[in-house]
Structure 1
Amino acid sequence: MTKLTQQLTNKLENGQNTELIKDEVIASWFTGRQLIEDVANLRQHFINLKVKRGDIALISLANSALYPILMQSLWELGVIAHPVAATTPLSQLQAEFNEYDYTLLIVGNELATGIVNDAVLEETSVKLNTTNKLSIFVNSAITGKRIFTEPTGPLEEDVALILNTSGTTGKPKRVGLSHKQLYQAAVHNIASHALTTADTTMIVLPLSHINAQVIACLSTRLSGGKMVIAKKFSASHFWQQVSTNGVTWVSMVPTIISILLLNEKSRASYSQLQAQIRLRFIRSASFSLPEVKLMDFERQFHTRVIEGYGMTEAAGQITLNPLDAPKIGSTGKAVATDIAILVDGQLETGNTRVGEIVLRGDHVISDYVDPHPESFTDGWLMTGDIGYLDEDGYLFVKGRIRDMINHGGEKVAPAEVESVLSELDLVADVAVIGLPDDLYGEAVTAVIKTKQTAASEFAQTKEVMRFVKKNLAVFEQPTRVYFVDKFPRNASGKVVRAELKKQLTRSMVGEKV
């Protein structure tokens, strides 16, 4: 066994009589003993299917108490888990399965009914404490040629988890994380978040992504804490769930923070339950949270918001604001990670200029599953993010290289403009992009979702333009303003800027300047 699988087992054994994981959909807690039984039954089922170390399982499941137990049973056999979104269309899922050499396909009941059960892909199922039926399809073209042998356990350097990057453009890269990297990442998370057995987290983000999978789930399990797994985030139920379950911290994205601020049912629920809420902090990551929203959330919900910075390639976390010394506007200090800034081909550390963020560490990959040597330089991972380190070692992320807007030779960081625009009362959400411009190359374009208001779009546009002239440099000021009802987003909640540009280019509706 590896340190990862051994510690996961130890924590379940130590909590045999303790309710450790709750499935919020069925409102049921599961003890360590029940979870141990499920791991053992799943493990034996996979052994019977002649699954072995190095096989890959493609997984498309909604969040549930089953998820972490499934991962553990696969890892104990040295099987690589590759989760994808539960909302993945069947055609896309089967195309993915056919493109790579997967041994197992594990899906929810809705998808299972549509999968062809032929001579190659054979369906099996297993009943567990955490689910009445789990559909497991085995690729008999692989397993059918095998002679049964006793399973061998994984090694520390073996890949345990493959996740697709949550990029906003192009085909996602496949990131392979080893048992050792996952374990070390979780240990660093536990220390930086000061997690103990007294903590309870609630998972509201998809377990097919690094944030929920490692930062929330794995770190909680290895710390001996408890977790409540929701199928998805619900603004109207959030504070009731936090109160009822004694939740002490939640990892989320800025989109959720914005929704909680705007949702009337959420605000009303908090007012009623405030005295019973035990939250230590909310962790915000994935993309920049405007300062005004951070301060509004802390003021309205009396809960500290701690910003961090991470990516799939680093098994989740890279930086985090210290709990006792957060610096608003920054993503915090490095957590067991070497960080440098690449400026004009030179690496800078300490107090730096703005450039590309590069990093390395014991939880950071040195290559992708499908090699991309251009993403590395002298042992450093090139993140594609722009930022700088201040004199105290706090990292400030300014956006993606590909998102930078070239306005007449001036480089405009969308995150900077978005942060300023978020201070406007009429703005519920905003994205700043560059659209083609004959004179300047790219026009700084503000795309805004407004709060409920009786003002006309013309009046709102005038208000926006007056505001930016007072608060932004001339080259940063949007020269075009569009209003939308919603933004195209990926599964992590990030605005898909390429798709937004396409939509605006096609419609050209709402231009005000």
Structure 2
Amino acid sequence: MDPATDIADLPGFYAIAQADPGRRAVVGPDGSVVSYGELLATVNQVSHGLRARGLRRGDVVAGVLRNGLDAVVMLMATGQIGLYYVPINWHLTDSEIAYILGDCDARIVVAGPEQAVPGAETGIGGLAEGQPTGPPGERSAGAVMWYTSGTTGFPKGVQRPLSDAEPEALTPLYTWFLGEVVDLRPGDGVHLVTSPMYHSAPCAHTQFALHLGHTVVIAPRFEPVAVLELIERYQVTNAMMVPTMFHRMLQLPGEVRAGYDVSSLRQVIHTGAACPVAVKQGIMDWWGPVLYEYYGSTESTIAFAVKPHDWLARPGTVGRPAPSFEVRILDDDGEELPPGEPGMIYIRSGLGTFEYRKDPAKTAASMRGDWYAPGDIGYLDKDGFLFLCDRRTDLIVSGGVNIYPAEIEAALLEHPAVADVAVIGVPDPEWGHNVVALVQPAEGVTPGPELTSELLEHCGPRIAKFKHPKVVEYRDQLPRTPTGKLSRAKVRQEYLDAL
């Protein structure tokens, strides 16, 4: 690259790769390194290959791919020729994958060699073979269409309108937005991928790390020590993680934690699930004030964000509305609530709209006019900072009092004997619902009545007596997604089925 050229002046990945082809782009799970120039050449070949198969603007391509170079290439190749790209969770069953492929009308499916998907291309080789490495003509920005987790009913694709503009015309807006909410800037950053890229946040952060000129380092999987090794080896500056990862990190012995240099970290962004205050404080005590949090959803994108020092001044907040977003807290009658009063969260964005693919009824049900409801309960403080209580569907009403499971889980997670916990409401003829805690003990901890007494005593100074679990049971493992989400509906149903 010409020394006079600053990548901050270049509008994203495609331009950066042309100007500085030798720049390190991706370090794969196996440690292999690909430059920006090499990545762009392959991306262009796949874009040409998709066009050669007859795909045109607005068509859909799906990928059933593990984290790695193929997943990155598909993301960037579809992103410059106006296609929708659907990343699919490769952990799903054959029938679940088939449902998504049918619902999204995928014209082409690319799968890894480990996935037996009927009619799919095995990897990107067939698409790229024999195709030119130069840019395709008539370029326009594509979009990723993520399928929601489907905790109630079948998953649905979150579809946004496509633009006629080239990606270079749109990228500056999004890189500006990320700069505003999480202080990410173009330059020589190193981004660590710790979660599967079939989820929206890890996928989006991978894409925009490349638009910022950063190097993307892909961890083979999340293992606390392995992640610390990668941070030290590659001098990682930013990463996207989830609260369960922080909890596992903090369970490492002190001498192990002290053995790794994490001083390169500038932004560790977390989302996907509520983070207990003690866990977040513990990581900041270790890594410094580098934790950035945002709250949103696949549908709303980043709706609220909080930087480290604002969070330290207001522990527990998920921040104020991100640029272009507005918020309202409404009661069951649709009346706006004053600061401090919990209610349903509604948000409105100036960044554009979405719809659920093939489901206008579901789209309409999620909206109140042009305000979207993520389904969470929360309240605003007097300064406009949002505090989450819980999902509306997970609220426990016991003796006529609202109880938020996340608050009880956060208290129990502060105990060193607890590796994970899920709190659910179980029907009770007298109280309406009882609070039940399903606890996954930490390694080496023996569950039993003595531990139960210890946990209830631990809750004493932390949460009111009426919130204490009436029942504590133990589980070997609790079902969380790689992004840390727990389907309490699934856990509750499994518990009730076993009664």
Of 159, 164, 171, 1:176 maps to: 159
Q: Partner residue of 1:383?
A: 374
Quickly say closer, same or farther: Cα 1:198–1:123, change in 2 above 3 A: closer
**After the TM superposition, which of the residue ranges 350-359 and 75-84 deviates more from structure 2?**
350-359
Q: Partner residue of 2:259?
A: 272
Residue-pair matches, total: 471
* Paired AA for residue 75 in structure 1: G
**Is residue 35 of structure 1 aligned with residue 32 of structure 2?**
no
Between the aligned partners of 2:351 and 2:448, the Cα distance in structure 1 is: 48
Quickly say closer, same or farther: Cα 1:271–1:125, change in 2 above 3 A: closer
* Secondary structure of 2:469's aligned partner: coil
Q: Partner residue of 1:142?
A: none
Give the conservation status (yes or no) of the 8 Å contact 1:168–1:490. no
1:432-491 alpha-carbon deviations (Å, 9 max, x no partner): 110111211211111112224566510111122333344332332211111111101234
**Is residue 488 of structure 1 aligned with residue 486 of structure 2?**
no
Of 305, 310, 330, 1:320 maps to: 305
Alignment of 1:432-443 (within 5 A): 432-443=423-434
Q: Partner residue of 2:194?
A: 204
**Is residue 220 of structure 1 aligned with residue 209 of structure 2?**
yes
**Is residue 242 of structure 1 aligned with residue 227 of structure 2?**
no
**After the TM superposition, which of the residue ranges 304-313 and 460-469 deviates more from structure 2?**
460-469
Give the conservation status (yes or no) of the 8 Å contact 1:187–1:219. no
1:213-233 alpha-carbon deviations (Å, 9 max, x no partner): 11x223322222222122321
* Secondary structure of 2:427's aligned partner: strand
Q: Partner residue of 2:26?
A: 21
**Is residue 468 of structure 1 aligned with residue 459 of structure 2?**
yes
Alignment of 1:27-426 (within 5 A): 27-111=31-115, 114-116=116-118, 121=119, 123=121, 126-127=124-125, 152-154=138-140, 160-178=143-161, 183=171, 184-196=173-185, 197-214=187-204, 216-264=205-253, 268-274=255-261, 277-302=263-288, 304-315=290-301, 317-326=302-311, 327-336=314-323, 337-346=325-334, 348=336, 351-363=339-351, 365-369=353-357, 370-371=359-360, 372=362, 373-426=364-417
Quickly say closer, same or farther: Cα 1:152–1:134, change in 2 above 3 A: closer
Quickly say closer, same or farther: Cα 1:36–1:99, change in 2 above 3 A: closer
Between the aligned partners of 1:281 and 1:311, the Cα distance in structure 2 is: 20
**After the TM superposition, which of the residue ranges 437-446 and 468-477 deviates more from structure 2?**
468-477
Give the conservation status (yes or no) of the 8 Å contact 1:124–1:135. no
Quickly say closer, same or farther: Cα 1:341–1:253, change in 2 above 3 A: same
1:73-100 alpha-carbon deviations (Å, 9 max, x no partner): 1122211101111223334323432444
Between the aligned partners of 1:220 and 1:489, the Cα distance in structure 2 is: 26
* Paired AA for residue 196 in structure 2: P
Tell me the CA shift for residue 122 of structure 1: 7.3
1:286-340 alpha-carbon deviations (Å, 9 max, x no partner): 111111111222224446333321210123x221212442232111121111111
Between the aligned partners of 2:496 and 2:181, the Cα distance in structure 1 is: 44
Tell me the CA shift for residue 166 of structure 1: 2.9
Give the conservation status (yes or no) of the 8 Å contact 2:113–2:122. no
* Secondary structure of 2:473's aligned partner: strand
Q: Partner residue of 1:141?
A: none
Give the conservation status (yes or no) of the 8 Å contact 1:109–1:134. no
Between the aligned partners of 2:137 and 2:483, the Cα distance in structure 1 is: 36
Q: What is the root-mean-square deviation of aligned Cα atoms in Å?
A: 2.7
**After the TM superposition, which of the residue ranges 394-403 and 163-172 deviates more from structure 2?**
163-172
Between the aligned partners of 2:149 and 2:100, the Cα distance in structure 1 is: 16
Gaps of 5+ in 1: 128-132, 137-149, 509-513
Give the conservation status (yes or no) of the 8 Å contact 1:203–1:227. yes
**Fraction of identical pairs, as percent:** 24
Quickly say closer, same or farther: Cα 1:78–1:475, change in 2 above 3 A: same
Q: Partner residue of 2:132?
A: none
Give the conservation status (yes or no) of the 8 Å contact 2:339–2:381. yes
Between the aligned partners of 2:137 and 2:237, the Cα distance in structure 1 is: 39
Tell me the CA shift for residue 421 of structure 1: 2.2
Between the aligned partners of 1:16 and 1:463, the Cα distance in structure 2 is: 59
Q: Partner residue of 1:444?
A: 435
* Secondary structure of 1:397's aligned partner: strand
Q: What TM-score do you get using the length of structure 2 for normalisation?
A: 0.87
Give the conservation status (yes or no) of the 8 Å contact 1:64–1:230. no
* Paired AA for residue 227 in structure 1: V
* Secondary structure of 2:375's aligned partner: strand
Give the conservation status (yes or no) of the 8 Å contact 2:160–2:354. no
* Secondary structure of 2:33's aligned partner: strand
Q: What TM-score do you get using the length of structure 1 for normalisation?
A: 0.84
Between the aligned partners of 1:165 and 1:415, the Cα distance in structure 2 is: 21
Tell me the CA shift for residue 67 of structure 1: 2.1
* Secondary structure of 2:13's aligned partner: helix
Write out the 4+ residue segments of structure 1 that deviate beyond 6 Å after TM superposition: 133-136
Between the aligned partners of 1:454 and 1:364, the Cα distance in structure 2 is: 49
Q: Which has a greater percent of strand?
A: 1
